[in-house]
Structure 1
Amino acid sequence: MEGWIHQRFIFSESKINTLKALVAAESCYYLPFETILIVHNSGEGPSNQVRTLRRTTSYVDDQDYIFVGLQDVVQKLLAQLLKAEARRSVLSIHGMGGLGKTTLARKLYNSSAILNSFPTRAWICVSQEYNTMDLLRTIIKSVQGRTKETLDLLERMTEGDLEIYLRDLLKQRKYLVMVDDVWQKEAWDSLKRAFPDSKNGSRVIITTRKQDVAERADDIGFVHKLRFLSQEESWDLFRKKLLDVRSMVPEMENLAKDMVEKCRGLPLAIVVLSGLLSHKKGLNEWQKVKDHLWKNIKDDSIEISYILSLSYNDLSTALNQCFLYFGIFPEDQVVEADNIIRLWMAEGFIPRGEERMEDVAEGFLNELIRRSLVQVAETFWERVTECRVHDLLHDLAIQKALEVSFFDVYDPRSHSISSLCIRHGIHSKGERYLSLDLSKLKLRSIMFFDPDFRKMSLINFSIVFQHLYVLYLDMHVGSVFIVPDAIGSLYHLKLLRLRGIRDLPSSIGNLKNLQTLYVNDGVQYCKLPHETANLINLRHLVALYSNPLKHISLITCLQVLDGLGCDQWKDVDPIDLVNLRELGMHNIKKSYSLNNISSLKNLSTLRLFCRGGQSFPDLEFVNCCEKLQKLWLQGRIEKLPHPFPNSITMIVLSLSVLTEDPMPILGILPNLKNLVLFRAYEGKEIMCSDNIFSQLEFLILRDFEKLERWHLGISVMPLIKGLGIHNCPNLKEIPERMKDVERLKWNYML
C-alpha cells in the first residue's frame, strides 16, 4: 500500500464540530454513504477529519512522483511557512505549466508539520475564469462547515458581506490558505482583503505560472521559482513511472534516455512519456515513438503539447472518449471517481459484456491514471476516490473535443456554442445560455456547473432536451428548485443529477432508461414518488429520501442504494434485489429489524448509521452476507455478530461502546486487512492472542479512553504495516513488537 499515507481527505475543525452535533441530534442530516465522522478531542491538536470511503478501482501510486530530487525544496519551503514570524505572510510558488507547482503545494499543505501548526486550513483553485464570491464561499464552507443554515446565509450575502464575514471568521484563528493556480494579480487582490493579519503566524500559499503575480503578492513575502529536473533526476522519475522496468533491455534504455533528455526536465512531459512507453512493447515500438518525437524537435527539445498529443492518440476509441470527457468539467475541478464512471456508462462509452459495466469503467479510469493522463486527487486504502486532469491536459481535451465535435463549453462573452456538438457544458451564465435557440439541436448531454443558476423553470424539457442521455445540474446549493412534470418526457435519459430538490414529480417514473439518479449530495431530504419503482433499469440510486418506497424491490437492476432511512427499508422485501452491491442506511433504531438484509446475496459493501445515541438491533444477519467485503457500523452495539463472513476485508466500528473485547471475534477473520475502531470499546484491556489477525495490515484505535493494557501474542498480526493509536490516555504501554511499526497519523487515515 505504498503511498497511501500521503493521500487523504481533510476538512476543517468546524466542519467536524458541525457533523458531531448532527450525529448527536435526534433528527440529523444524513452523513453521506461514503463519509466517516471523526470527532476531535480538544487535547490532541488539529487532527479532526472527515474522510471519504468509496468503492473505486485500484491504481498505480503517482502522488510522490514530482518529488524526485526536490525533497530539499519541500524542507526549504516548510521552514519558511513554520518560521517564527508573527505577521501573515505569503509564500508564492511560480513556474511553467507541468513543473508540479500544485503537487508541491499539496505536499506542503498535507505535511504533518503543517497539520500540527495550522488548526485552520482551506484550499481553493482560482483558475483563469474565476468568481470571487464563489471562492470566498468555498473558504468559508471549508472553515465553518456546510450546514443548511450556513449555506442559506452565504447565498444572501454580497461580495462585501462575504469578505467581512470571512475576515471575522479567521481573525482569531491561525490559518493556512492555499490559493492555487492564480493567473492574474487582480484575482489575488480581490481575495487578500479577506485574510486578516492577526499577528499569529498565519500563512497563505499561492501557485501561479506568472512571475509578476508571484512577486507582487506580498512585498516582503517569500517567492520560490520551481526549477526543472536535472538529467539524472529526470531519468530517475521516468524509471519510477515505468510500469515494467525489468523488460527494458539496454537498447530500449538508450532510446528512452534520448527521449527523456529532450523533455528538458519537465516532470509532466516525463511521466506522460513514461506512461506512453509503458504500453509499447519491444524495441521496435519504442523506436517508432522516438521517430515521431524527433519529427517535432524544436530548439533541441520536444514541445510538451506534442508529447501529450502523442499519448492521447495512442488511446483506444473507448479510452479516447473517456479522457475527452474530463474536458467538459471546469478547469481544476476535482471529479469523483464514481461520478465520472457513471457518466461514461450513461454516454455509452463502456461496452456491455460478461463483466459489470462499473468494473470495466474502473479499469478504464485505472488505465488513464497509469498513462499519467489523469491524476489521483484523493484515495482511501489504495482506492481512487477523486481524480483530476492537469491544466495542460484539460486544454488538450478541449482542443481535441472541438476537433471532432465531441463537446463544447458555452462562451457567454460571444454568447455562442457549437451547433455541431451534441454535448454542452455550461460553467457560467446558465440563464443566458438557455436564451439561445437550441430547438434544432439534438443534444445528448447537458452539464450545468454554474453556481449562480437558479431558474430550472427556464429549461424547456419537452422540446430542447428530449434526446438527452445525461442531464447534470450541479447548480446553486442554496436554492430550492421545482422539477416540472415535463422531465418525464426525457425518455432516453440515463443519468439525472440534481441539487436543491425537495420532491420529484410522479412523471419521473417514465424514465425507463435511467441508470443513475443522484439527488442533493446527501445534504437535503427529497421526496421520491412511488413511481420511482418503475425505473426498471436504475443501477444507482443516491438520494436522501424521506418517504417509504415499498416497491423498490421491483428495481432489480439496482447496484447501489444509498441514502434511505430505516423507516423506508423496514417494509421492503429485498429478495429480488439480486444485483445490489452497496447499501447505505441511516436513522436505524433498536426497535427495527434488519434481518431482511440477509437476502442480499451479492452485497459487498454495507454501511449502517444509527440515529443519534441509538443502539443497533440484532446484527446476526451479517453472517448471511457471504460476499460482504466492507462493513461500517456507526452506533451502539450490544453484541458483535459472530461469526462475521470470512469474505470481509475492512471493518469500521464507530461509537460502538462495546463492553466486551472485540478483538477475539475480529481477529479470526481470515481476510481482514483494515480495521478502524473509533470509540468502539469501553473496557480496560484488549487481548490479541496467538495466531489471530493473520492478514491485518492497518489498525487504528481511537478514543479508547478507559483502555489500560494491550496484550499481544507473539504470532499476532504478522503482516502489520501501519498502526495508529489516538486519544488512549490511560494505555500504559504499546506492545514491544508494535513499537517499530509505521505510525499512522489520524489525519492520514480516514
Structure 2
Amino acid sequence: MKKKTKDKEEMENDRRSGVAAGKVEATARSQILLLLLSLTLRFSVLTKTALAFIQFSLIQEMAEGALFDVAKGIIGIAGKLALQEVALIWGVNDEINKLEETVKTISSVLKDAEAQAKQHNGEAIKNWLQTLKDAMCDADDLLDEISTEALRREVMTCDKKAKEVRIFFSKYNQLAYGVRMGHKVKEMRERFDAIAAERIKFHLEERSEEEQVRHKARRETHSLSHAGTVIGREDDKEAIIGSLLDPNAKENVSVLAIVGIGGLGKTTLAGLVFSDEEQIKKHFELKVWVCVSDNFDVKIIVEKILESVTRKKPENLEMDTLVTCLQNEINGKRYLIVLDDVWNEDREKWNELQKILMGGAIGSRILVTTRSELVAKITQPMQLHVLKGLDKQHAWSLFEKMAFEEGKEPKNESFVKIANEILKKCVGVPLAIRTIGGLLYFKKSEIEWSLFEKNKLSKIRQNESDILPTLMLSYDHLASHLKQCFAYCSLFPKDYMIDKSNLINMWMAQGFILYEEDQRPEDVGDEYFLDLLWRSFFHEVEKDELGNISKFKIHDLMHDLAIQVTGSDCTTINSKVKVIKEKTRHVSFGDTLYSSSEIPNSLYRARRIKTFLLPCQLDYIPEYYNMKSNDSTYSEIIASFKFIRLLDLHNTGIKTIPSSIKKLKHLRYLDLSRNGDIEMLPNSIVKLYNLQTLKLSKCKNLKELPKDINKLINLKFLEIDGCSDLTHMPNGLGQLTNLQTLSRFVMSKGRIDSVPKSNSGLKELERLNELKGNLSIVNLKQIKDATLEYKAANLKEKQRIDRLHLNWVEEDINETGASYDDMSLEALQPHINLKALSLERYGGVIFPHWLVSLTNLVQFKLDSCKKCQYLPPLDQFPSLKIINLSGLDSLEHISDLERDNSDSLFYPSLEILDISDCPNLKGWWRGRRDSLPSFPRLSNLDIRDCPQLTSFPLFPYLESLSLGNCSLKQSLERMMINKTSGNLPSIASSSSSTIVAPLSKLSYMCIEEMEEALPKECLRNLISLRTLSLHECPLPQGMRYLTALQDLDVRNSEVVDLSNDWDEMEWQGLTTLLSLDFNQLPKLVSLPMGLQYVSSLQNLQIRECSSLIAIPEWICKLISLQYLSIWDCPNLESLPEGIGALTSLQTLVIEECPILLKRCKKQIGEDWHKISHIPNLYLSQQEEPEEEPNEEAKEPARQNWDLIKTFGCCNCSTQQLTHCQNWQKVILLGELNQITMP
C-alpha cells in the first residue's frame, strides 16, 4: 500500500514538474527530485520479501503485493529525461542507471518471493517484515514531505510577492533545506541498509518476468448485466411468499426464517421477496428492511424500524419513547419486517423485540435471515426455510455467465470437464461461483484453466459450511492495486450504502490509484470499481436519475474478508473495539458516535493515522443534531495526526476551523460538510497544497471561500451545494484547472460594473474544462451587459458536465427586458452531452437555439420562468425521462407547434411529468384536437394548481396520478372511448408488445381541490389501485369497482356527506380495504351504514369531524379492526357497547374529545368497561395554557421535564411548546429530539 503511494507521488510530482517548467527554478526542482529518487532507490529494493510475507499472513498492516506496479513506476521515472538532467546537475547519472537495473532485478524476483511467502512461518521473517513495514511507512511520509515542499515552491514561484519569493529562493534557504532533508534521507538510507543486510537469508532467486495484464473495465452492459443476475431461486421465492401470505395463519405476527451458510444468497432471496410487486406489495401495508448483523441491540433495531416507517432519524430518545412512537406507527397495520443477517443467540433479547412488534394486524410477518439454525429456532418461526446450494444445472448457468464471454462458452469435452471440476469446489454457493467465475473470465485458454484447477484450487480445503477459503483465493488473485482498494472498504459498516464517487476520492487520497500521465486518476478509480463489482466483491448497485451508478454495498461475507485481510491497519471503533494500536493507519467510527468524549485516548497515541472517518450515521442526521464536541477536540486531532491524509469532521457542530490546520501538509481529503455554524474558513487552509477533496456541502452559514484558494493547486473536488449564504466566488478560482467538481458557482448580486474586484465572475469558469457531474450557477443577471461575460464561461467545452442548473437573481424582470435574458441564455450554451438542464427564474420569452441540440437530455426543469409562453420542441428527444414545470405564469400551451400525424412516438421515454403553479395553462396545443396522442411510457403524473387546464395528451399507462386544482376529465373520458376503439399505443416490452386497458396499472391516486368527481367509467379500469386520497373534492360513484383498494383517505371537504353520497353497494365492493381515514369532514354526523360490510378493515382514523355525535353499534361487525383513532371530535358523546366485541382491536387512541374522554376515565368513567380490555390505550386532552408565570415559576417545569409523556406522530414543534408551563400534565405529540426545552 505504502509503496504504491510512493510511486503515485513520484509520478505526480514528475508530471507537475514538467507542466510547471519555467515556473520553478531548475536548481530547486533538481534538488527535490534527486532526494526523492535517492530514497526510492533504497527502500524499493527491499519490498520483494515484504510481498512474500504479506501474501502469507492475513494479519498485516498493508494490502497485499503492491510490488509490480511500484517497480514499473520506478523504471519509468528513472528513464525520464528530467531525471537524467538532474543526474547531470548532481553528477550522479551512474546512480540513475544502477537504479533502473536494480528495479528490473526486483521485478524478476517477485514470483519467487510470492512462492516462498507461503512456505515461511517463522518469527524471524515476521519480525523482519514488521521492521520493513515501519520503515516503508516512514519513508512514504518522508517522500510525501519532499513532494509537498516541491509543491510549495511551485506555488511560491507563482506568487506575485516578489520579495517573499527572493527570500525563499535565496541560496541560504536552498542550502538549509538541502542539508536538513539530506540528513533525513541519510538516516533513512542507513535504516534500510540495516534491513537489507538481513534479506540474504531468504535466498530469493530471479525468475523470468511474467506479463501482468491490467484489465480495463469491461463494457458496462456486459459487466453489470451479469453482476445482478439471480438464477435458480424462483422456487424458493414462491415458497416463501406462499408462507408469508398463508391465509390459515391465525397469529397477528408470525416469524419465518431463511437459514443457510454465507454466500448462498439469503439476503438476495429476501430482497426478491421484499420487492415483489404482484403479491407482497399489495398484501402488506408497511414494509421495513433492517440489517441487524453482529450487534443485536433491541434499541438500535427499534430505531431503524421507526426511521424506515417515519423517514426521520429518531435521535437520543429513551427506549420507552421509541417503543411508544413505533407502536403508534405500526400497531393495527399489516406489516412485513425483514431482519437481515441475525446472529443473536440470546432468547431474552429476541423476546423483548418480539413483544414490541406484536401489535401488528393479523397477517403481519417478520422475515429473518441467518447463517445459524440455532438463531433461527430462537425466533420460534412458523416455518424454517433452509436454503441449499444451487443445483448442478443452475450452478453451471451462473458460472457460464460469469466465466465466459457470451457466445464463447467451451465446447470441447476436456475444457468442460475442467470447468466442472472447478465448479464442484464452489459447492453450489452463488457468491463463490461469481467470484471464481469472475476470476477465470480473464483466463482464456484451457491450459490456464487446468493450471488454476491443479495448482490453486486443489489446495483449498473447502466444505459446504464455509466458502471463505474460496473467497480468499479470489482475493489472492486480485491485482495488487485492487487489493488495497477493497481492503480499505472494511472501514464502512456492514450493509452500508457506499457512495461510489466518494470512495474513489478516498482511494485517491490514500494514493491507491496508479495512473499514466494521459489518464485521470478518478477515471482509473472508476475502472477499479467496475472490476471489483464484476468480480462480486461489490454488489447491490443503485443508480441515479441519469442512469449512473451512485451507490453500492459489500456482501457481509466480503466485508468479513476485508476486515480479515486488512488486520490492524484499518480499525473500526465500536462497543467491542475501544483500544487502538499505535501502528493503526486508518480508523473509522462505524455507524455510531454521539460525542467526542467517546473517542478513546489510545487513538491519539496512534501518531501515524492516515484516515479519520466519522460515523456514517451522521450523513442522515439533521444539521441541528451535531455530534457533541468542542473546538479543543479538533485542535487535538490536528496536533496528533500530522501525517493524516483523510480527515472527516462532517456534522460535528464545529464553529471555527483552527488555523493550525495548515500543519496537516499530507492532507488530501477534508470533509467539513453539514456544519451549519461555520461562517469563514481560515486562509491558512490554502497551505494544504496536497488537498484534492474539500467538502463544504450544507454549511449554510458559510459566507465566502478563502481568498487565496488558487493556491490549492491539487484541488479537484469542491462541494459547496447547500451553502446558501455564499455571496460570491473568490478571484483565482479559474486557476484551479484540475478542478472537476464545482457543485455551485455563486455570482455576486448587483450590476457587473459594481462588483468588487475580489469577487470573481463567470470568466473564472473559462479554463475549468475538466468540470464534471453537477454545476449550478446562481445569481445570473437580467441586464444588458451580461452576455459577453456569460459567453466567457465557455460552457460549451465542458463535455463532462451531466447536470446544469442556471438560476437568475430574483428581481423585477419587467424592468430589465426579456430580450436581455434571451441573449444571456444563448451565451450559456452547454455541451451536447448534457443530461439534465434546469432553468430557474429565467426572464426570457423564447428559448435559445442550442436547446434543441441537447438530444441526450434525461431531465428538463423550468421553475419560476414568469415570461415563458411555451416549451421548446422536446417530444422527439429519445432519452428524456423527467419533465418538471413550476411557476410558469405566462404558459398557456406546452407547445406552439401543431403536431403532425407521423408514426413516431410522442415523448418516447418520458416517465415522470410534474406540472404545478401554471395558472394560465389551458392545454398542450392551441385549439381543439380530434385525436390526442398518448404518452407510451409515462408512469408518474403530478399536476397541481393549473385551474384552466382542460386538454391534455392521454396517459393510459400511469402507475401514480396526483391532481390538485385542475381537471383532466376530458382526457380521462377520451381514454375510456379509445379503450374500445383500439387507438391506444402498445407498450414495448422485452418479450412482446401488449395492449392494456387505460389506467389498469394505476396503483396510487391523489385528487385535491376538484369541482367535479372522477368519471364513473374511469373507476371501472382501476383494477390495480391500492391507495386513493380524496381532498376537497366530491366523492366519485363506482367505488365498488376498486377491488384492489387498501388505503382510502377522505378529508378537507365541506360538502362530503358520507351518509348520503355512497350507498351500501359502494362499500360492499371494497373487499380489500385495510385502512380508512376520515379527516376534517364537518358534515359527517355518523359513520356510513355501508362501512359495516368492510370486514377487512384493520385501521380506522376519524379526525376533526366536529358534527360526529355517535359511533354506531354495528362497529362490532368490523371483525378485523386492529387500530381505532378518534381525534378532535368534540360532540362525540359515547362509545357503543359493540366496541367490546372487537376482539382484534389492539390500540385505541382518543384525543381532544372532552365529553368522550370524561366517560372513558379509568375505573370511574361510564364507558371504561367498554374499552378496558384493549391492550394499548392512549387517552389525552390538551389543557389550556395557564397565565404566563415569572422566571422563578418556570424552574419546576424544567425539573419535571423527564416526567413528560411522549406519544404520537412526532410533529410537535419547539414553537408550540414555548407557552406550555404545566409540564407534568402536558402530553407531547412530538419527537423529543426535535424539541428544545423553553
Q: TM-score, normalising length from structure 1?
A: 0.77
* Higher CA-based Rg: 2
The amino acid across from 2:337 in the alignment is: V
Asked if 1 retains the 8 angstrom alpha-carbon contact of 2:461 and 2:469, the reply is: no
| 2:439 matched residue in structure 1 | 276
- Tell me whether 190-199 or 386-395 shows the greater mean CA deviation: 190-199
Alpha-carbon distance, 1:435 to partner: 0.9
SS at structure 2 position matched to 1:141 = helix
Q: CA offsets, 1:285-306, max 9 Å, x none?
A: 1112211344335477795222
Question: 3-state DSSP class of the match of 1:229?
Answer: coil
Moved more, 641-650 or 338-347: 641-650
Q: Secondary structure at the match of 1:125?
A: strand
| 1:413 positional shift | 4.4
Cα deviations across residues 281-338 of structure 1 (Å, max 9, x unaligned)? Answer: 2112111221134433547779522221121111222111111111121222221111
CA distance in 2, matches of 1:281, 1:227: 31
Counterpart residue type for residue 361 of structure 2: K
Please name the residue that 2:794 is paired with.
599
Q: SS where residue 624 of structure 1 aligns?
A: coil
When residues 129 and 156 of structure 1 are mapped into structure 2, their CA distance, relative to the original with a 3 A threshold, is closer
Spell out the pairing of 1:272-671 with structure 2 (5 A cutoff): 272-298=435-461, 304-352=467-515, 353-380=517-544, 383-402=548-567, 406-410=569-573, 413=576, 415-427=578-590, 431-436=597-602, 438-439=604-605, 441-449=607-615, 454-455=628-629, 457-459=632-634, 460-473=636-649, 483-502=657-676, 503=678, 505-506=681-682, 507-519=684-696, 522=698, 526-531=702-707, 533-534=709-710, 535-543=712-720, 544-545=722-723, 546-551=725-730, 552-563=733-744, 571-573=761-763, 574-585=765-776, 596=790, 599-600=794-795, 601-603=797-799, 604-608=801-805, 620-621=825-826, 624-633=829-838, 639-644=846-851, 646=853, 648-654=855-861, 662=871, 664-667=873-876
Using a 3 Å threshold, how does the CA distance of structure 1 residues 738 and 426 change in structure 2: closer, same or farther? Answer: same
Q: Do the aligned residues in 1 keep the contact of 2:462 with 2:469 (CA within 8 Å)? A: no
* Alpha carbons of structure 1 residues 489 and 524: separation in structure 2 relative to 1, 3 Å: same
Aligned to 2:396: 235
- Kindly provide the amino acid, as one letter, of the partner of residue 392 in structure 1: L
Partner amino acid, structure 1, of 2:961: N
Report SS of the residue matched to 1:368.
helix
Q: In structure 2, the residue corresponding to 1:576 is in which secondary structure? A: coil
SS at 1:273's partner residue?
A: helix
> How far is the alpha carbon of 1:108 from its aligned partner?
1.9
Hey, what's the Cα distance between the residues in 1 that align with 2:780 and 2:333? 39
Q: Tell me which amino acid in the other structure corresponds to 1:606.
A: R
**AA paired with 1:596?**
Y
Deviation at 1:401, TM superposition (A): 1.2
User: Cα–Cα, structure 1 residues 271 and 414, in superposed 2: closer, same or farther, change >3 Å?
Assistant: closer
What is the DSSP-based 3-state SS (H/G/I as helix, E as strand, rest coil) of the residue aligned with 1:664? coil
Structure 2 residue matching 1:378: 3-state secondary structure: strand
Cα distance between partner residues in 2 of 1:134 and 1:741: 43
Indicate the SS of the match to 2:541. strand
In 2, the alpha carbon distance for the partners of 1:299 and 1:319 equals 25
What is the match of residue 13 of structure 1? none
Deviation at 1:368, TM superposition (A): 0.7
SS in 1 for 2:640: coil
Contact in 2 for aligned 1:542/1:563 (Cα 8 Å):
yes
Secondary structure of 2:268's aligned partner:
helix
> 2:914, 2:851 → 1: CA distance?
24
Query: Counterpart of 2:952?
Result: none
Q: Give the match for residue 43 of structure 1.
A: none
Comparing 68-77 with 332-341, greater Cα deviation is found at: 68-77
Distance 1:244 1:674, change over 3 A: farther
Aligned to 1:102, which of 233, 255, 267? Answer: 267
Of residues 248, 253, 258, the one that matches 1:93 is 258
Q: Deviations for 1:151-175, whole angstroms, at most 9, x for unmatched residues?
A: 5xx3342233222222223336554
Contact 2:716 2:740 in 1 (8 A): yes
Which residue among 144, 157, 160 is the counterpart of 2:320? 160
C-alpha distance in 2 between matches for 1:132 and 1:524: 35
More helix by share: 2
Once the two structures are TM-superposed, the CA of residue 566 in structure 1 deviates from its matched residue by 6.9
- More strand as a share of residues: 1
* 2:386 match: 225
Say yes or no: does 1:739 pair with 2:913.
no
Shift of 1:235: 0.6
- Asked whether the equivalents of residues 961 and 1002 of structure 2 are also in contact (C-alpha less than 8 Å), the reply is no
The change in CA–CA distance for 1:322 and 1:90 in structure 2 (over 3 A counts) is: same
Q: CA deviation at 1:245?
A: 4.3
**Greater Cα shift, 93-102 or 82-91:** 82-91
Query: Counterpart of 2:502 in structure 1: which amino acid?
Result: N
Paired with 1:119 and 1:660, the residues of 2 have a C-alpha distance of 43
- Partner residue, 1:27: none
1:576-628 Cα deviation digits (max 9, x unpaired): 32322233438779969898385232152124287999999658448721243
Q: Which of 214, 221, 231 in structure 1 is aligned with 2:376?
A: 214
Q: What CA distance in whole angstroms lies between the structure 1 residues aligned with 2:900 and 2:305?
A: 45
Residue 565 of structure 1: how far off its partner (Å): 6.1
2:911 alignment partner, SS class: strand
Equivalent pairs counted in the alignment come to: 669
User: Do the aligned partners of 1:62 and 1:376 also contact (CA within 8 Å) in 2?
Assistant: no
Residue 623 of structure 1 contacts residue 643 of structure 1 at CA under 8 Å; is this kept in 2?
no
Indicate how the Cα distance of structure 1 residues 258 and 57 shifts in structure 2: closer, same or farther if over 3 A, else same.
closer
- C-alpha deviations, 1:179-205, integer Å up to 9, x for none? 221111556555445435242644433
Unaligned runs of 5+ in 1: 1-55, 715-721
Evaluate the alpha carbon distance shift between residue 703 and residue 624 of structure 1 in structure 2; reply closer, same or farther with a 3 A threshold: closer
| Partner Cα separation in structure 1 for residue 861 and residue 300 of structure 2 | 34
Q: Structure 1 residues 622, 92: CA separation in 2 closer, same or farther (over 3 Å shift)?
A: farther
Q: Which residue of 2 aligns with 1:199?
A: 361
Of the candidates 933, 937, 961, which is equivalent to residue 711 of structure 1?
933
Q: Distance in 2 between matches of 1:372 and 1:410?
A: 27
Deviations 1:64-100 (A, max 9, x none): 433x121122223233334556823333222111011
Comparing 481-490 with 466-475, greater Cα deviation is found at 481-490
132-141 or 631-640: which moved more? Answer: 631-640
Partner Cα separation in structure 1 for residue 300 and residue 704 of structure 2:
30
* Aligned residues of 1:539 and 1:558 also touching (Cα < 8 A): yes
User: Equivalents in 2 of 1:468, 1:290: separation in Å?
Assistant: 43
Could you tell me how far apart the structure 2 residues matched to 1:139 and 1:565 are?
A: 40
Tell me which moved more, 303-312 or 432-441.
432-441
List per-residue Cα deviations over 1:398-447 (Å, max 9, x = no partner).
Answer: 21112xx6423346546423333322233356644441163462222222
Partner-residue secondary structure (3-state), 2:549: strand
The letter of the residue matching 1:441 is R
Structure 2: 5+ residue stretches without partners: 1-218, 619-626, 750-758, 917-922, 937-955, 963-967, 1005-1238
- Counterpart contact for 1:663–1:687, Cα < 8 Å: no
How far the C-alpha of 1:221 sits from its partner, in A, is: 3.7
Which amino acid counterpart does residue 575 of structure 1 have in structure 2? Answer: E
What root-mean-square deviation, in Å, do the aligned CA atoms of Structure 1 and Structure 2 show? Answer: 4.2
Residue 536 of structure 2 aligns with an amino acid whose one-letter code is S
Which amino acid letter does the alignment assign opposite residue 235 of structure 1? W
The whole-number CA distance in structure 1 between the counterparts of 2:465 and 2:381 is 37
Q: Deviations over 1:262-285 (max 9, x none)?
A: 322111111111101112221121
Shift of 1:564: 5.7
| Structure 1 match to 2:336 | 176
> What's the CA shift for 1:248?
3.5
SS at match of 2:566: helix
Kindly indicate whether residue 225 of structure 2 is the aligned counterpart of residue 61 of structure 1.
yes
Contact 1:262 1:301 in 2 (8 A): no
Q: For 2:561 and 2:881, locate their aligned partners in 1 and report how far apart those are by CA, in whole Å.
A: 42
